[in-house]
Amino acid sequence: MTDDPVTLGRRHGGPHHEELERLGLRPEEVIDFSVSTNPYGPAPAVVEAIRRAPVAAYPDPSATLARRRLAEHLGVRASQLALGNGAADLLWSLARALVSPHTRVLIVEPTFGEFRAAAEAGGATMAEWRASLESAFQIDTAAIADRVRAACAQVVYLCAPNVPTGAGLPAGALAALAAALPAVEIVLDQSFLLLSHDWQDLGLPLPENVICVRSLTKEHAIPGVRVGYVLAAPARIERLERHRPAWSSSAPAQAAAIASCAETAFVAESRARLLQDRLRLCADLRALGLQPLPSTTNFFLLPVRDAPALRARLLGNHRILVRDCTSFGLPSFIRLSARPAGDCQRLLTALRAELPRC
């Protein structure tokens, strides 16, 4: 793994180019189960819209057309939306808007690390509630509310479907949590919503104190473009805008957001295939004597003996990349993403060879 100062302490899936160079591998030779973007994308019309985006002029700093089209698509008002340079960028912007030194922030762990990193950089006092293996990492909103009250937290970060566990959060449980904590800002990261069983929650009205962050990276398979959005009450959107620079979404990102709204069928088809791919892979892993954990989305946790060693052997010996979950505090788990059947067969062959050693 790299010691690159940019990513140190915030590991993510996907290839680390320096590591591949050391192993003499090219990125295109590697089958990547560590990153959970849609392997069936992107949709040609989205790629075409990105290609045609005007790059010789500044983009609209308010992303007016993209917000208007997204608003129509989601059944909300444009004033409830902010477009950004990916969900990660929006999480950092939200932390700038919500956190000052000593703001008390609670993170629902184990989870995606960017909001914690941003809150820590802003001088927050951190607390956490941690889901347990015994409950298959379920998100227990009553226990979270108790912990938030005990820690006097003012801001909560909650990811659902959660990364890396795949645990979901029913809309009713979210509503109850928000109602129980009316003075708390709940940052809800739904980056994987559209690739999950809960995709129909997309258009549900959100409680006033919930700030929803979504990525277009995952279902549209466009991580290189950097585009996501925040959905929240207009006053919270205004606050976010005051805490970030102008031109926070590029012309290609705005074009991708507009084009993505016409791709409901592509997303639905991809989701159906990926949820089926996940079921098939989990069944094959169980046939090997392994015990994949339940998930609501296109990735899941797999308990193993030594995740760092297994990751290294799969990459070095088989050109297969999996997510070692040590950085989530889970050194005996890898995270696997759903992929087409041929890729899964290669993974199963590699696991048969390597599991006896790690």
Q: Provide the binding-site residues for ligand PLP, judged by CB under 6 A.
A: 12, 86-88, 112, 159, 163, 189, 191, 215, 217, 223, 228
User: Minimum Å distance from CB 87 to ligand PLP?
Assistant: 3
Of 224 and 342, the one with the shorter C-beta distance to ligand PLP is 224
DSSP state of 127: E
- Element (DSSP H or E) covering residue 278: helix 264-287
- DSSP state string for 279-294: HHHHHHHHHTT--PPP
User: Minimum Å distance from CB 358 to ligand PLP?
Assistant: 25
Q: For 280-306, b where at least 16 C-beta lie within 10 A, e where not — what string?
A: ebbebbeeeeeebbebbbbbbbbebeb
Contact criterion met (CB below 8 Å) for 19 and 1: yes
Strand order in the sheet with 210-215: 81-84, 228-231, 210-215, 185-189, 155-159, 104-109, 125-130
- Element (DSSP H or E) covering residue 257: helix 251-260
Spatial CA neighbour of 336 closest among 272, 281, 267: 281
Of 270 and 351, the one with the shorter C-beta distance to ligand PLP is 270
Strand partners, 214: 229
- Element (DSSP H or E) covering residue 186: strand 185-189
Of 59 and 164, the one with the shorter C-beta distance to ligand PLP is 164
Strand partners, 274: none
Phi, psi of 293 (to 5 degrees): -85, 155
Of 226 and 313, the one with the shorter C-beta distance to ligand PLP is 226
Report the 3 state secondary structure along 57-126.
CCCCCCCHHHHHHHHHHHCCCHHHEEEECCHHHHHHHHHHHHCCCCCEEEEEECCCCHHHHHHHHCCCEE
User: Minimum Å distance from CB 166 to ligand PLP?
Assistant: 11
For residues 69 and 74, what is the distance between their CA atoms, to the nearest angstrom?
Answer: 9
Of 91 and 275, the one with the shorter C-beta distance to ligand PLP is 91
Of 209 and 249, the one with the shorter C-beta distance to ligand PLP is 249
Of 313 and 335, the one with the shorter C-beta distance to ligand PLP is 335
User: Minimum Å distance from CB 132 to ligand PLP?
Assistant: 20
User: Minimum Å distance from CB 286 to ligand PLP?
Assistant: 26
Of 130 and 149, the one with the shorter C-beta distance to ligand PLP is 130
Contacts of residue 8, defined as CB under 8 A and 6 or more positions apart, other chains included, come to none
User: Minimum Å distance from CB 294 to ligand PLP?
Assistant: 18
Residue closest to ligand PLP when measured from CB atoms: 86
User: Minimum Å distance from CB 191 to ligand PLP?
Assistant: 4
